[in-house]
Structure 1
Amino acid sequence: MVHESTFEAAPFVGAGPSANALSGMAGRADRVLGGLVEAVAALLVLAEICVLFAGVVSRYVFHAPLVWSDELASILFLWLSMLGAVVALRRGEHMRMTALLQKVQPSTRAMLDAFAIAASVAFLVLIIWPSIDYAHEESFIVTPALEISNAWRAAAIPAGIGIMLAMALLRLLRVCTGRQIAVAVLGMAALVAAFWLAAPLFATLGKFNLVVFFVVVVAATVLSGVPIAFSFALATFGYLALTTRTPLLVMVGRLDEGMSHLILLAVPLFIFLGALIEMTGMARAMIQFLASLLGHVRGGLSYVLIGAMYLVSGISGSKIADMAAIAPVLFPEMVKRGAKPGDLVALLSATGAQTETIPPSIVLITIGSVTGISIAALFTGGLLPAVVLGAALCVVVWWRYRREDLSGVQRHSKREIGKLLLVALPAVLLPFVIRAAVVEGVATATEVSTIGIVYSAIVGLVVYRQFDWKRLKPMLVDTASLSGAIIFIVGCATAMAWGLTQSGFSQDLARVMGALPGGAYGFLAVSIVAFIVLGSVLEGIPAIVLFGPLLFPIAKAAGVHEVHYAMVVIFAMGIGLFAPPFGVGYYGACAVSKVNPDEGIRHIWGYIGAMLVGLVIVAAFPWFSTGFLKF
């Protein structure tokens, strides 16, 4: 399972489908309903690309803005997010922590997987009626541009929750035995009833309820393998329902608010762009050019790996897309030269953390959406700090490969390098096209991905002549699934953050953080430690959505520039995310590289140490994050 920003989730593992008629019927129903939802979700991704690109062309080329394009995109986006969450649930791709599950017996893990599905069912059952009430309330609002009822948009929430509930029940029947279903469902029902009956006790606990729900409940569910989004949602629902008088449709409203930031529409579009550059051969062309430049020096291909991750991250915004584009191209040749697979996957994982701030990073987009920081400023500020961490990694590479035998390595001639540069040039230009489009005002940070998509499609068809039409639908479905998992987490974390804020927790946190010794640097030091832990447990996006609105105002009050603070916490989370044994990003890198995780653990600590040194340098010298903002 990986974030960033990009995500690969670990699937639920049951004890195997039951061989009875009910399981067979559930499988058939799942194929029909799931196939329909996947088709609609894929069409929604395509529709969003068309609507936003049409808006760019109409405004910039014809100077006749489509006043309804953003509104229509917003309506379609909520439907895409909810149906994408359905697809992710069906495919077992919602993000969850599986590090501890890997260590238990298969029978125990199967039981915990059944419990995880039952916990998801419990939340969906509890929230479905408030979501219907919310959609009904929204029906009285008329949208300003299209002048239609807002129920057309808000109905996506109860519809998505209802279909998710159906898919979760079908999944229980398909992958769990009758005994597992009975134990999981009855156990979850007993837990819900126990909490409900304990409501009078909670009324006497005051702020200690924050510990009960947002520490104990969240920790217990996350560690037992419940998807992180549903862990947040269950804790928030329980807190609001049992300790406050807040109407529960307010929670649905916060869920809607978190999922409806139009800037988040960049997430599915950049994910699709990442898949597109791999499919069209653009990523391979860039890597081959870099390899021709540095392949003849000691550790040269490792330097190419670091540089390629920097360039590809600037295009795709998805860590899994980055790694999947690079590892198959470089690793075979690196192994031929004697590199150990464990060292390769360790470096790949480290570069995943190093490039978290390369625009258009999904984590940067998320920070901008929840804190109000300029996306353009974040994109500008993220380039140089990644160079600092990359340089630190290069020092480790130089030390480890200083005695590499290059006797059998052929050096490319200038003519060959020039030819590979010519081939790679259209691909190398893409990051500059994306950045120029934003800086020159051609498109917003949300719309610019559509320019990249159209550019990549044209280059793939005309220049590289590599465009597999059969892969288009699976790519669209994968985009919807990954986007749904990400955006649903953002929505649930937004609701949880709102619950914490209403409890007075944010004021208490501000007082504690404001009283830390050492001023701005003391605050940064504590933040680094906290976000390394949060990155390994909650991953980047949930942690940012949950704590960003609380901590960024405190950072500003402590004298820390908001862009500088964003870079520090992103790198800290990235290190936590990609560092074993809990960092799930590390296991995603192993899955992409097809390397056993045990082989990389002893090699990765040198790279982690280098990144910590780089992070300290970035934190100590704000200029690396803010120096180019004036230009």
Structure 2
Amino acid sequence: MVAAAETRSSPMQSEAPIAARAGVLRRLDRALGTVIAVPTAALVLVEVFVLLGGVTSRYVFHHPIIWSDELASTLFLWLAMLGSAIALHRSEHMRMTAFVGTLPPAVRLTLEVVAMVGGLTFLLLILPSSWNFAAEEIPVTTPAMQISDAWRAAALPAGFAIMIAVCAIRLLALGNWRHVGGALLASTVVVGGLYLLQPTFENLGNLNLLIFFVGGVACLVFAGVPIAFAFGLSTFAYQALTTDTPIVVVVGRIEEGISNLILLSVPLFVFLGLLIEMTGMARAMVNFLASLLAHVRGGLSYVLIGAMYLVSGISGSKAADMAAIAPALFPEMKARGSKPGELVALLAATGAQTETIPPSLVLITIGSVTGISIASLFTGGLLPGVVVGAILCVVVWRRNRREDLSHVAKAPAREIARTFVVALPAIALPFVIRAAVIEGVATATEVSTIGIAYSVLAGLLIYRKFDWRRIYPMLVETAALSGAILLIIGAATAMAWSLTQSGFSRDLASAMAGLPGGTPTFLLVSIAAFVVLGSVLEGIPAVVLFGPLLFPIAKQVGVHEVHYAMVIILAMGVGLFAPPFGVGYYAACAISKVHPDEGLKPIAGYIVALLIGLLLVAFVPWISIGFL
């Protein structure tokens, strides 16, 4: 009996070490997450104070701080790399999961492991060159602070090393050695096979561009590998196997793409958007619009369109926009009989409509990679959003013209006036931001800090709604989203540089400039291309990759650069929020807590409206450049 008991207990004894190891790995994973998150959250705050201090010193005391931009740039690269590590730890790097999601669970699990191993492969390959890049910066001294530039460049190997640790812990924690071992073996075989084929690649010329930047990127993206790592792997493979360019040069292009100081406004505007929601400013604007239009058929749908327009003008993040508006409006809209599918369809459509509203992150990105004045882009983006919104309103009117409002009373003038007074400080914020840029008080990078200070004061003194406990999670969320975006920009910058060096840009320019039909054909081809790119790559990586190639062509065929920016942004917005591939559509579904299938039929009419508005903006340039 004793022997039998011992026999029966042996499985439990064998499972105990596995459970203990899993527990250790989970604790290690949590500890690593905290170690990354705390200093990164602090970096976001420091960036805010450094830039706001620079604005205050220059504009108020007329005594500029000469080292503020240099310090902000140094800290920014660290913020971007550590933010990328947080995004990887939280599984928040942008990736295309539409294809993977249709597969059986076993295959899906395998591809999840493959995606993680793909990212790990890129990180392991790029780490030595990033270390060399940082070492080469040691003799370089910064002009204002007089310190070695290696302090800034060291962010690259440090960030990559931390991400390697995150991937390694996650793979060990899976415990499924068959999947992990298979993915590692497959990765090793692919890398080895490509290395053996190097002599063949050297003789293929520009056919390599199709192999690595079309076939390679497509396979990686559709397999669920995060977009930044898919770009990075393809660029690394192309440069290592088909050219004599040292990989340290690729690292330099990645660093160049990430550390453009204009992009510092990305995390700051993301944080501003979260503040808008937390302080109640977004809800105040929604309440005012609802008091005006709640008694009209489809009135709350019009409120949704208008509220998204206003909030987009101050947050810069579509996820933050939708998260601020949906919880405030959807319960009442459902109570009035609106179907969940209709709500999520309209929310996604307004997300696409407001892509041009300043300070859109895509506008800032276009300005950084093309050299177009961000102030001009901010001015040019206002009216296209109004035009497309008006066409969406036509669809809303048609769908709600028989709505029964017998139980809804019109808000009295006193109530409208009260909600307007309450909302006025929030409504004023977009105008404060725009005025600060136009009047030269702050640059497009610095102006977000003015918005942050304004929002903090409004939350504390006017709305009396400021939850200090939410600040740290908001800072971490800001860093994660910003890091994911910035790593994509860095990898896409390296890929775009590779395309330029290959001569592809010249061939593309010749082909696009030689299209029959002149400007109209060029615009139609651009619209079609960016709708597809927006659905597959999302807006920012598509802009970074193709913006430097196509904007000179647009200028060559007579299209104003601001006008062209509005056309491609709206086109990418349609792709981003249109199912089945649009990631923005699934984000809207997640925020609305609605199954994606419910919105497929209702969104069709809104997509048609968006395309009509896009064509109107494309072929009436005054809409984009009339107020420049």
User: 2:371 corresponds to which letter in structure 1?
Assistant: G
Shift of 1:176: 5.3
The alignment's TM-score, normalised by the length of structure 2, stands at: 0.97
State the match for 2:43 in structure 1.
44
Shift of 1:19: 4.6
Tell me if 1:35 matches 2:39: no
Name the CA distance, whole Å, in 2 between partners of 1:171 and 1:628.
52
State the match for 1:159 in structure 2.
158
Tell me if 1:373 matches 2:372: yes
State the match for 1:185 in structure 2.
184
Name the CA distance, whole Å, in 1 between partners of 2:252 and 2:463.
47
Tell me if 1:431 matches 2:426: no
Q: For residue 298 of structure 1, give the secondary structure of its aligned residue in structure 2.
A: coil
Shift of 1:246: 0.1
Shift of 1:138: 1.0
State the match for 2:8 in structure 1.
none
Name the CA distance, whole Å, in 1 between partners of 2:102 and 2:129.
38
Mapping 1:161-240, distance limit 5 Å = 161-175=160-174, 177-240=176-239
State the match for 2:458 in structure 1.
459
Q: For residue 355 of structure 1, give the secondary structure of its aligned residue in structure 2.
A: helix
The percent identity for this pair of structures is: 66
State the match for 2:266 in structure 1.
267
Q: For residue 356 of structure 2, give the secondary structure of its aligned residue in structure 1.
A: coil
Contact 1:270-1:318 within 8 A present in 2 as well: yes
State the match for 2:573 in structure 1.
574
Shift of 1:24: 2.7
Mapping 1:614-629, distance limit 5 Å = 614-629=613-628
User: 2:204 corresponds to which letter in structure 1?
Assistant: L
State the match for 1:258 in structure 2.
257
Q: CA RMSD in A?
A: 0.9
User: 2:339 corresponds to which letter in structure 1?
Assistant: K
**Cα deviations by residue, 1:162-184 (Å, 9 ceiling, x for unpaired):** 11111111111224522111111
Name the CA distance, whole Å, in 2 between partners of 1:140 and 1:28.
40
Contact 1:388-1:614 within 8 A present in 2 as well: yes
The number of aligned residues is: 612
Tell me if 1:510 matches 2:509: yes
Name the CA distance, whole Å, in 1 between partners of 2:441 and 2:170.
45
State the match for 1:102 in structure 2.
101
State the match for 1:6 in structure 2.
none
Mapping 1:34-433, distance limit 5 Å = 34-175=33-174, 177-433=176-432
Name the CA distance, whole Å, in 1 between partners of 2:593 and 2:522.
40
Shift of 1:23: 3.0
Name the CA distance, whole Å, in 2 between partners of 1:60 and 1:146.
22
State the match for 1:8 in structure 2.
none
User: 1:66 corresponds to which letter in structure 2?
Assistant: I
Shift of 1:26: 2.2
Unaligned runs of 5+ in 2: 1-16
Shift of 1:29: 1.8
Name the CA distance, whole Å, in 2 between partners of 1:561 and 1:120.
39
Shift of 1:394: 0.4
User: 2:435 corresponds to which letter in structure 1?
Assistant: A
Q: For residue 529 of structure 1, give the secondary structure of its aligned residue in structure 2.
A: helix
Moved more, 31-40 or 282-291: 31-40
Name the CA distance, whole Å, in 1 between partners of 2:358 and 2:395.
25
User: 2:229 corresponds to which letter in structure 1?
Assistant: F
User: 1:259 corresponds to which letter in structure 2?
Assistant: I
User: 1:124 corresponds to which letter in structure 2?
Assistant: L
Name the CA distance, whole Å, in 2 between partners of 1:177 and 1:559.
58
Name the CA distance, whole Å, in 2 between partners of 1:407 and 1:271.
41
Name the CA distance, whole Å, in 2 between partners of 1:128 and 1:26.
24
State the match for 1:15 in structure 2.
none
**Cα deviations by residue, 1:122-159 (Å, 9 ceiling, x for unpaired):** 01111111001000111111111111100010000011
State the match for 1:536 in structure 2.
535
User: 1:37 corresponds to which letter in structure 2?
Assistant: I
Tell me if 1:471 matches 2:470: yes
Shift of 1:252: 0.3
Shift of 1:620: 0.5
Name the CA distance, whole Å, in 2 between partners of 1:100 and 1:299.
35
Name the CA distance, whole Å, in 2 between partners of 1:542 and 1:136.
29
Name the CA distance, whole Å, in 1 between partners of 2:202 and 2:524.
37
Report the structure number with the largest CA radius of gyration.
2
User: 2:99 corresponds to which letter in structure 1?
Assistant: L
Name the CA distance, whole Å, in 1 between partners of 2:368 and 2:299.
39
Name the CA distance, whole Å, in 2 between partners of 1:329 and 1:267.
25
Name the CA distance, whole Å, in 1 between partners of 2:607 and 2:209.
34
Name the CA distance, whole Å, in 2 between partners of 1:176 and 1:76.
37
Shift of 1:215: 0.7
**Cα deviations by residue, 1:32-76 (Å, 9 ceiling, x for unpaired):** 221011001100000000000000000000000001000000000
Q: For residue 145 of structure 1, give the secondary structure of its aligned residue in structure 2.
A: coil
Name the CA distance, whole Å, in 2 between partners of 1:539 and 1:209.
24
Q: Which runs of 4+ in 1 moved over 2 A?
A: 18-26
Moved more, 388-397 or 178-187: 178-187
Name the CA distance, whole Å, in 1 between partners of 2:131 and 2:338.
57
Q: For residue 560 of structure 1, give the secondary structure of its aligned residue in structure 2.
A: coil
Name the CA distance, whole Å, in 2 between partners of 1:470 and 1:75.
28
**Cα deviations by residue, 1:444-486 (Å, 9 ceiling, x for unpaired):** 1010100000110011011111111111100000000000000
State the match for 2:4 in structure 1.
none
State the match for 2:588 in structure 1.
589
Contact 1:114-1:176 within 8 A present in 2 as well: no
User: 2:197 corresponds to which letter in structure 1?
Assistant: A
